[in-house]
Structure 1
């Protein structure tokens, strides 16, 4: 298992919304939104279902970013 700096609170990432140029908020791992228990599942196993076929091999953690101003959503791959 690798170490995601965003998940562990070591780093923050400021992502600017492409629509309104306000700062988007990191909502956490994409896989945490699958169901009520997905946040408690093994991280490496969940990477097999996160929508990126290579996230496990590339040691990437997909994070969900949301803009509260214009409701734009996007994901960013963070290097573990």
Structure 2
């Protein structure tokens, strides 16, 4: 079974540096969890159709939302499952 190492706790974090200020950005979880109140409870593979990455389902990628607390920069990163 293919699973995201961050969502499932196999890895605690990925160090992503903010391109604006160089601060370590915080992982806020899957981008699809922010679509609506119930999206976090939906089937993961179905939600990959709405994550903004056309090949995330086929290439087994989990799209995470990263946030910089210093300069408020936001971005997504694909995590290989």
Q: CA deviation digits over 1:36-75, x for unaligned, max 9?
A: 0000000000001111110000000000000010000010
SS at match of 1:9: coil
Once the two structures are superposed, the pairs formed by residues 1-80 of structure 1 within 5 Å of their partners are 2-11=2-11, 12-80=13-81
Provide the aligned length of Structure 1 versus Structure 2: 80
Q: Which runs of 5+ in 2 are unaligned?
A: none
TM-score by length of 2: 0.95
Tell me the distance in 2 between the aligned counterparts of 1:20 and 1:50.
26
Displaced runs of 4+ in structure 1, greater than 2 A? none
TM-score normalised by length of structure 1: 0.96
Gaps of 5+ in 1: none
